[in-house]
Structure 1
Amino acid sequence: MDFIQIVILAILQGLTEFLPISSSAHLILFPRLAGWDDQGLAFDVAVHLGTLVAVVWYFRDEVTAMTKDWAASLVRRQRVGDSRLAWAVILGTIPVGLAGLLFKGFIEQELRSPLVIAWTTIGFGLLLWVADLHGRKVAQPRSEHALSRRDILLIGCAQALALIPGTSRSGVTMTAGLLLGLSRSGAARFSFLLSIPVIVLAGGLSALDLVREEHAVDWSAMAWGVVLSAISAYLCIHVFLKLLDRIGMLPFVIYRLALGGLLLVLFWGH
């Protein structure tokens, strides 16, 4: 990989991981459209580590409080402060963890084609639009702290669908949150908190695969990948949360429809 590829792909991962437009789709498609060789598993691990650093640092106060209160709730065997939200993140991660273990091989072999990405990009983009329109009609939208067990289970199951390339983990969890009556910011914040264990699990599995492959690692590319993806992801989270209530989901819906349409044009019949 040359330096231009490293910069573009790292920034691309940082921006798309938390926007509702699918980071996996962009990392699969962009190198193909640009005529680049696949960036390799090691670089994918690096940029995911960067996004993990970004989201943990951005929500460091919440993560610290949730961790302390969760540990205290285990000792006291009762709800403590933000322990409820911590349990929500843990329980919401279980469906995608199980789905990943069961279907990882099938998804990687059968569902990484441009046409699959095109249809999921369009379909889940339209669903995001419907959810955002529904959310605007909710008289008293809830925050992420008011999730019920049913809400958590449904959002967790929705997150499992994001294993299909083009779906967008952040997009599908925000969609579910909006349909369940969360505010835009509440849906987004819970989606970002849910990303922490998911990125850890996905990165851990990829790291194990990387160790088994025993390929030479370009440590310079890895380092740049971590740094650039972390910076771009942090800025993305900050700007997205600042602007979300003002702009809504429509710009991302339009982008998804345009991207999906372009992919259909380019790859239909191939």
Structure 2
Amino acid sequence: MDFVNIILLSLIQGITEFLPISSSAHLIIFSEIINNSNQDITVDVFAHFGTLLAVIWYFREDLIKILRTYKISEVNNLGNCLIIGTLPILFFGFFLRDIIEVNLRNQNVIVFSMIFFGILLLIFEYLRGNRNLEDLTWKDSIILGLFQTFAMIPGASRSALVIMGAFYLGFRSIDALKISFLFATPTLALIFLGENYLINFEYKINILELLLVVFFSFLTACITIHFFLKLVNKIGLLPFVIYRFLLAGILVFT
């Protein structure tokens, strides 16, 4: 993969990972455009690692607080909630990973997911309430984790699904976003660790390329997180739903 494509892929991952528009769908589309499908999984994994570093850096104070106050005996402790919320995607991902990679990484699935989950996102936004992050319980985390499992479908969007789950549970918009970001930390870590183990045996890796992917996806993701948090209360999620519909339409007619 040449330098220009590395930059483009990193920008795509950094921008789309935390927006409710599906990073996996955009990476699949990009790989088809540049005819580089054989390297999809390897580069995708390290692009996700860059965004993992970004969310850790941006929310470092929150994460440090979570670590300092963590008590395994307190089931509603935020740290335990993040762990509990990650278990469903860990379980289903273990059993369904190969099926999804073989059968669902295609344009038809992306088009359907973009439209279907876009409609759901618009509907669920009207369910948001006044709960904040401090109200999160382990029972909420199970529900959020189940929502998050559908993110394995290309085009669904992990961010969109966790936000929808948070709206369903009555959280405010800004807190729904923050929950989505915090849930991304263990989830992206699992993606990187699990897939990295596999690609060490399955693919040839150009270290310089992957380092560039990590750096640029990290930088772009930090900027995206910052502006998304500031803008969502002003513009809502409708612009992202419209974008999902437009992208689906473009894919259908091209």
Q: Which residue of 2 aligns with 1:108?
A: 101
Which runs of structure 2 are paired with 1:72-87 in the superposition (5 Å)? 73-74=71-72, 77-78=73-74, 84-87=77-80
Does residue 1:45 correspond to 2:45, yes or no?
yes
Which runs of structure 2 are paired with 1:125-164 in the superposition (5 Å)? 125-135=118-128, 138=129, 141-164=130-153
Paired amino acid for 1:148: T
Q: How many residues end up aligned between the 2 structures?
A: 253
2:80–2:138 contact (8 Å) kept in structure 1: no
Which runs of structure 2 are paired with 1:168-183 in the superposition (5 Å)? 168-183=157-172
Deviation at residue 205 of structure 1 after TM alignment: 1.4
Distance 1:208 1:78, change over 3 A: closer
Distance 1:110 1:42, change over 3 A: closer
Paired amino acid for 2:95: L
Which runs of structure 2 are paired with 1:181-196 in the superposition (5 Å)? 181-196=170-185
Deviation at residue 78 of structure 1 after TM alignment: 4.4
Deviation at residue 202 of structure 1 after TM alignment: 0.8
Q: In structure 2, the residue corresponding to 1:134 is in which secondary structure?
A: coil
Distance 1:216 1:149, change over 3 A: closer
Question: Which of 236, 239, 250 pairs up with 2:238?
Answer: 250
Q: Aligned equivalents of 1:111 and 1:41: distance in 2?
A: 14
1:134–1:179 contact (8 Å) kept in structure 2: yes
Does residue 1:225 correspond to 2:213, yes or no?
yes
Gaps of 5+ in 2: none
2:17–2:51 contact (8 Å) kept in structure 1: yes
Does residue 1:234 correspond to 2:222, yes or no?
yes
| Deviation by residue 1:25-55 (Cα, 9 ceiling, x = unmatched) | 00001221x2432244332222111101100
Does residue 1:265 correspond to 2:253, yes or no?
yes
Q: Aligned equivalents of 1:95 and 1:172: distance in 2?
A: 13
| Deviation by residue 1:104-150 (Cα, 9 ceiling, x = unmatched) | 11111111110111001110001111111232xx3xx1112212333
1:122–1:260 contact (8 Å) kept in structure 2: yes
Q: Aligned equivalents of 2:242 and 2:141: distance in 1?
A: 28
Deviation at residue 4 of structure 1 after TM alignment: 0.8
2:28–2:40 contact (8 Å) kept in structure 1: no
Paired amino acid for 2:193: G
Q: Aligned equivalents of 1:43 and 1:153: distance in 2?
A: 30
Distance 1:10 1:222, change over 3 A: same
Q: Which residue of 1 aligns with 2:4?
A: 4
1:96–1:159 contact (8 Å) kept in structure 2: yes
Report the structure number with the largest CA radius of gyration.
1
Does residue 1:89 correspond to 2:82, yes or no?
yes
Q: Which residue of 1 aligns with 2:56?
A: 56
1:84–1:145 contact (8 Å) kept in structure 2: no
More divergent stretch after superposition (8-17 vs 38-47)? 38-47
Q: Aligned equivalents of 2:22 and 2:245: distance in 1?
A: 13
RMSD: 1.4
Q: In structure 2, the residue corresponding to 1:20 is in which secondary structure?
A: coil
Paired amino acid for 1:229: S
Length-normalised TM-score, structure 1: 0.90
